[in-house]
Each structure stands twice: as structure tokens, then as C-alpha cells.
Structure 1
Amino acid sequence: MASEAETVTLTAHCLCKAHVFTTTVSRSNLPLPAYACHCDSCRHSTGALYSIDAPWPEPRPNVDTSALKSFHFSPSIDILFCGTCSTPMFFAHSQKPDGELGIFTGTLQNGTVNPIKIVDHIYVGDTTDGGATMWLRKPNEDGTDAKRFRERGKGDNVEEYPWGWPAASSFTGYEARKEDSLPIRCKCKGVDLVLHRGSYDGKKREELPWFIDPATYKPLVGFCGCESCRLFSGVDVWTWTFAELENISFAPSTDKAFPKQTTDLKALVDAKDPSIGTLTYYASSPDVQRYFCGNCSACIFYAVDDRPHMVDVAVGVLEASDGARAEGFLSWAYGKVSRMQDSGGGWRMALLERVEKECEEWRIGRGYPKNWMRIAREQAEAKAKS
């Protein structure tokens, strides 16, 4: 029997902690190989720009997943998730009851030993613009590149993308704008909404909502490393954009007006109004509602009571013609991951620091300006030091 020093206990749990899974693994078998999938289906099932899982070291017959809700993700794969708080826990082979379980890495506790190594990015071709792979080139402790594949990362005729793909000339860019509206859809399409651009053009900075870029009038996208967003989605690095509720509508087939305040949105879900589809929520705090699809687990919105006219919108459930990052609609705040302090003392802090570093390099390489809020913050910090 291996000694305690030779083993590591891995624990995974959902946001509400109704489901907790533990297993012991030999240190020599770590890190576990993790695979980030960037396909359209994974983006619309998580609300993130990708999903990421690693093989759970416990044989499937030994893992009681009966209390988890199941979504038939593909002909051969199910997502097993918490029906209360949305956290996806496992990918499971629906046709192989004894097959390997894939644990969503965002559910793993933030211990002192790093349990994963991101080996491959797969189905990157679905992103069109490279999606989140552009800042996940060197996510691992050993500094190695994670390979990128057009589809699956195995087989004789698999196309591997060089890190020069896609060409910079193919990106939409900071100033360019494309669609005036984007669908908000989960994988199962039980949530089918539309995000509209909003009437901000020509307004002065002080007249704009805080999240609207005063140069492009596009809504901000921010990176979040907090524990709640990580557990909500099962993905280690989260991205939100922001919208006033007046700029969200139901799909054109629905005549009903979308709620203009978060209290009305909550009431509509509580009433199980048919217009809201499969949208439900988990109150992660007394004043916070995290909205998700109750059928396929996709994260959709974050709402907080002191911002009654707006919500955070999961970037992964948007559908844009120019790619997963929807740069023709959104203004990305590359270079900063908020709430990194949630990972202090654990292995994830180093991961977030690497992501932040790559984001900044990506921003500079693209010629993107610093985010206007970042400039203001840096100026305030410089003034305080002088």
C-alpha cells in the first residue's frame, strides 16, 4: 500500500456542494492529462469558450453519479451535472457504462498539488478565430505548448494548427463592428434569446454604462478567476460580457417582451412562465442569481440585486459570424483576470497568472489598446504612489 506521502486525495464538488467526489491517486500518476474542447457544442453547453476535462482516476462502477442530472450531449456522450446549481461534473460515455469518466477540471479543489496538465486543444476549427486557445498556449507548469487540432487530437489524418493560425489579418479587430444583434443560445436551445447592441453611439463617456467602451461603443468582456464562476461552469477561467436588460429580447418567434428588471426576470422563472423556456437559476448568495439551462446545464446570466437593470452574459452562448470571441460585437479587456485572490495558496493561482501573462502578450501582439478602465486604474495607482 502506498504511503500518504506517495498519494494525493483529489476532491471535486459542485457550486452548491450537494455533490462531492473524492479519490486517491498516486503522485507518480499526476498530472492527469486534460483536454480542452472548443467545439460549438461545448461552448453552448458550458457558456465558456471551451470545456475541459481529465480522466477521473476512479473506475466508473465505483463512482455513484445517480443523483446527478444527465444531458445527452452527443450520440455517445452525456454530461452529468448538478440540477440545483448547474455545475457540470463529468463527461460520461452513454454507451459504455463501465467506461472512463472525465472530470470537469473547474470542479477540482484548489490544493497545493497541481493535478492536471493541458495536453491538447481539440475542435479548434469550430472557433474560426482560435477562441480561448490564443491565451492558453503555455498553460502548464513545465512551460510546454498545448497542441491545437482542427478536430480531434488523435488519428493519422488529424490537422494540427500552428500557432500562427489564424492569420492576424483574419481577425475582426478592436474598432470594427459587425452584427447589431447576436443569438444567446444554449446547446439544447431551451434558452433562445437575442442580445442587441444598444443605442450608445455618440454619447459621452459619462453618459455611457460603465461596461460600454467609449471608443467603440461595444460591451466589455472581462476575465474572472473567482471560485463561484469556476464551479458554476466547470471551467477554470471564465469570461463574462455585460448587457442592459432592455437590450435583450426573446427569439423573434416570441411576442412577449423580455423583462427589464432582474426582479421581473426572477419572477418569470419562479412562475415557470413558458416564454422563459428552460432557464432557471441558483441563488449562490442571498442577492445573486446565477441563471442556467435546467436541461443542458449551460451558464447564461449572472444577476445581482443592486444592479436591477443589467446582467452579466456568458460569452460562450453567443453566436457570432466572426468567431467564438465575437470581436465584432464585444470589446475584450485582455491582460487582466479578476478575483485571482480566490486561488491564493493553491495550484490554480499559477495557472491564472500564466493566462494573464499570455492575455497581455496577445493584446500587445494584436495592437489592442489597454482597456479604458485599466488606464484609469493605473493612473490612480500612479497618483497614489507619487
Structure 2
Amino acid sequence: MARPIACLCRQVAQEVQLDPSIDETVFNLCHCNACRTATGLLFSSYYALYGSSPNLSGLREYHQPDQITRYFCGTCGTHVFAHNTSTRQYFVAAGVFSNHSPPIRSIRHWRASDTKDGGLSIFLPGDTDDSSCLLQGFSTNRERDLSLEDDAQDSQRNDGRIPARCYCGGVEFYVTAPDKTSSEATSPWADLLVPYYSGSSANPDDVKWWLCAGNTKYLAGTCACTSCRVGSGFPIQEWAFIPKSNLFNADGSPLAFGVGTMQQYESSPEVYREFCNCCGANVFWHCKERPLLIDVSVGLLRANSGARAEGLLHWHRDRVSFAEMGQQTLVQRLEAGLSGRESRE
């Protein structure tokens, strides 16, 4: 069956056919270091394609040293395809289906051990395979992933700053712990806390909802909205809500959009997304309505504690943002795991 796919800006749109020899009801999530830092998310997810190369026109390509090539839209940053040049297998990102996305009956986690804390796998019970990256199948390349892990440990600062860096290193910044400037931002309520369908998101009391644990941590959560799904190329986006005053370029200067390989896309009027135009990593979401509070893609953070960076982030477990828009089987399982009704933690 041919399935239509499209990126966020729809400059890349075509039909693809999944490999019928592979069980498409198994939802594969890869948590390896390469997938996290090349996408900016806590996991990637792909389906194997049937036949020869898909139409790659309009896509930028990034070649990893482990025989994996990733293809993303050069305008909006959506991850669309990946290719294992050794096996010649092409894959399509799981979040780009316009409709007729495959049903999910079971979940398999790949390389969750790379996260050190389990990442989001602890909230989504399933089978595990730590032999390789999903895109490499059973052909391992452990040496490259360990080098990424060592980079993360070496760059962790003793002063509490957490470095953030995409796979290629073209986007690099760091996050500081909350301080007195962290409460200077103002923002409507996030859908994560107050669902937009339930009423107004207005915050007349100016509650600093992004500060948690006695103002020592930032709020983080998951999002299943259509824009984040298609914009990243994957079904679940993880965001940390961090004041701009606590974000700094790698050289210590205040955060500036467009530094290095960072590219901006206006996904809707006065709403902006940044991504790396070299490796395709998703980086930021921000808007004119709340310019001093930035959504940071959590997969870029390189905390010694693990992928969830729980020394700095407080994960909201009561809701997946815009759950009503997402793949319902996946969202329901994730919400059950987050709430503790079905967790391996």
C-alpha cells in the first residue's frame, strides 16, 4: 500500500511503500547517541522502505561515519529518510505520514543503554535490543557511539552548566541552572499543563510555571502535536522550557539565533523553529508571544546523569501535550508510563 508523506513546509511530498517482509506493527525506537544528537529528540523511529531509493530531491543529506546517511528538508528541517549505505536499505521517518500510519501492536527499543538513565524507554515498556542502532540492524559500530558518550562526560562542567550540542557540532550552547533572571519571562500556560481545548491559556496571575522543585529545575515534557510531529519527523517531541537568560552560546555570550549552522523556519506567523542545517538536529521552538521563554529540544543536552537530564529538568507526567493529535496507541502507552500505571522504572 502506498502511503503519502510530507515535511512540515510540504516542499517534500511523495508516496512511499513499506517493506512487506518486516512487521510494520512493531514500533521501533532508537535511543542511541547518534540518533538523539542528530535529531535533537530522545529517540528516533523509522520504518524500512520497499524497493530502491525514494525521491530525494529537495532534501539535504548528512553522512555519518558509520555508513548511515540522514535526509532532511533544507527549508523546514523535517527528517524524512535515512539510508544504510552498507545494506542499501532506506528508511522513512515515522512521523511524516500524512495518513495511514502503521498501527502499533508492540514496541522495541534499540540502544537504550546509551542514554544511561533509560531516556523515555522507561515509560514505554517493550522489547530491547542493545546490539546496534536501529538503522544499522545487527551490524554494530559501538566505537563511534562511545566517543560521543565520552564527549558528553568531558564537557560536563562542575559549575552546573549543561552543554548542548548537535551531532555534527555546528550548533553548540549551554544551559545554566535557574537564577533570579529565570522569573523575568512571562508566558501563557503551556498546553502541557492547561490543554488548549479546555479553555483559555491566559496566565493573568503571571505564574512562572516553567520553574519547578523550588525554582531549582525547569519543566520538561512530551508533545504529540501535528506541527512538532511533522516538523521533527518523529511522533513524539521532547521540550524543556528554559528562559532565554539561562541559555548561552558556547563562547559564553548570550544566546543568539542563527549562530553556527543554526537555521530558522517560521512554521506559522510569528512562530519559529531552529534546526541544524548540516546534520538536521531539531534545536529550538519560540514565538513572539513569549520571546523570553524558549523550548529547547532535550535530545541535544549532554548531562552526565543521562538523557533526561533530571538534575536540571522536572518531567511532567500527567499529560502528553496535544495528546489528542497524536498516534493514539503510542500516546496512551506513553501517558500510562509517565503516570506510573505502566512503567518499568
TM-score by length of 2: 0.79
In the alignment, is residue 12 of structure 1 matched against residue 5 of structure 2? yes
Name the aligned partner's letter for residue 334 of structure 2.
V
C-alpha contact (below 8 Å) 1:33/1:54 kept by paired residues: no
Report 1:158-177 matches (<5 A): none
In the alignment, is residue 301 of structure 1 matched against residue 284 of structure 2? yes
Name the aligned partner's letter for residue 199 of structure 1.
D
Q: Which residue of 2 aligns with 1:109?
A: 98
2:261 to 275, 278, 289: 278
Q: Distance in 2 between matches of 1:76 and 1:25?
A: 21
Q: Distance in 2 between matches of 1:187 and 1:25?
A: 28
Cα deviation digits, residues 232-260 of structure 1 (max 9, x gap): 21221111001111111111xx264334x
Are the structure 2 counterparts of residues 349 and 255 from structure 1 closer, same or farther at C-alpha, using a change threshold of 3 Å?
Answer: closer
Q: Distance in 2 between matches of 1:14 and 1:40?
A: 24
In the alignment, is residue 83 of structure 1 matched against residue 70 of structure 2? no
Name the aligned partner's letter for residue 89 of structure 1.
V
Measured after TM superposition, the shift of residue 23 of structure 1 is: 3.3
Measured after TM superposition, the shift of residue 115 of structure 1 is: 4.5
Alignment size in residue pairs: 304
1:184 to 134, 147, 164: 164
In the alignment, is residue 50 of structure 1 matched against residue 43 of structure 2? yes
Measured after TM superposition, the shift of residue 221 of structure 1 is: 0.6
Are the structure 2 counterparts of residues 43 and 25 from structure 1 closer, same or farther at C-alpha, using a change threshold of 3 Å?
Answer: closer
**Aligned-partner SS, 1:60:** coil
Are the structure 2 counterparts of residues 66 and 48 from structure 1 closer, same or farther at C-alpha, using a change threshold of 3 Å?
Answer: same
Q: Distance in 2 between matches of 1:65 and 1:155?
A: 26
Q: Which residue of 2 aligns with 1:292?
A: 275
- Any gaps of 5 or more consecutive residues in structure 1? 1-7, 138-145, 158-177, 260-264, 270-275, 367-386
Q: Distance in 2 between matches of 1:119 and 1:215?
A: 36
Q: Which residue of 1 aligns with 2:339?
A: 360
C-alpha contact (below 8 Å) 1:335/1:357 kept by paired residues: no
Measured after TM superposition, the shift of residue 26 of structure 1 is: 9.5
C-alpha contact (below 8 Å) 2:19/2:49 kept by paired residues: no
Report 1:238-257 matches (<5 A): 238-251=237-250, 254=251, 256-257=253-254
Q: Distance in 2 between matches of 1:32 and 1:19?
A: 25
Q: Distance in 2 between matches of 1:100 and 1:294?
A: 24
2:296 to 290, 309, 313: 313
% identical equivalent positions: 30
Cα deviation digits, residues 141-199 of structure 1 (max 9, x gap): xxxxx311333287699xxxxxxxxxxxxxxxxxxxx9621111111010110111121
Report 1:1-386 matches (<5 A): 8-24=1-17, 31=24, 33-57=26-50, 59-61=51-53, 63-95=54-86, 99-111=88-100, 114-115=102-103, 119-137=107-125, 146-152=126-132, 180-200=160-180, 209-215=208-214, 217-251=216-250, 254=251, 256-259=253-256, 265=257, 269=258, 276-343=259-326, 348-361=327-340
- Any gaps of 5 or more consecutive residues in structure 2? 141-157, 184-204
Name the aligned partner's letter for residue 90 of structure 1.
F
Are the structure 2 counterparts of residues 118 and 300 from structure 1 closer, same or farther at C-alpha, using a change threshold of 3 Å?
Answer: farther
C-alpha contact (below 8 Å) 2:4/2:15 kept by paired residues: yes
Q: Distance in 2 between matches of 1:26 and 1:317?
A: 31
**Aligned-partner SS, 1:319:** coil
Name the aligned partner's letter for residue 184 of structure 1.
A
Q: Distance in 2 between matches of 1:41 and 1:317?
A: 11
**Aligned-partner SS, 2:211:** coil
C-alpha contact (below 8 Å) 1:16/1:85 kept by paired residues: yes
The structure with the largest alpha-carbon Rg is 1
Are the structure 2 counterparts of residues 28 and 64 from structure 1 closer, same or farther at C-alpha, using a change threshold of 3 Å?
Answer: closer
Measured after TM superposition, the shift of residue 109 of structure 1 is: 2.6
C-alpha contact (below 8 Å) 1:30/1:116 kept by paired residues: no
C-alpha contact (below 8 Å) 2:4/2:97 kept by paired residues: yes
Measured after TM superposition, the shift of residue 116 of structure 1 is: 5.3
**Aligned-partner SS, 2:316:** strand
**Aligned-partner SS, 1:54:** strand
Task: Tell which deviates more after alignment, 85-94 or 281-290.
Answer: 85-94
C-alpha contact (below 8 Å) 1:49/1:131 kept by paired residues: yes
Q: Distance in 2 between matches of 1:123 and 1:365?
A: 16
Name the aligned partner's letter for residue 122 of structure 1.
W
C-alpha contact (below 8 Å) 1:81/1:89 kept by paired residues: yes
TM-score by length of 1: 0.71
RMSD: 3.0
**Aligned-partner SS, 2:55:** coil
Name the aligned partner's letter for residue 247 of structure 1.
N
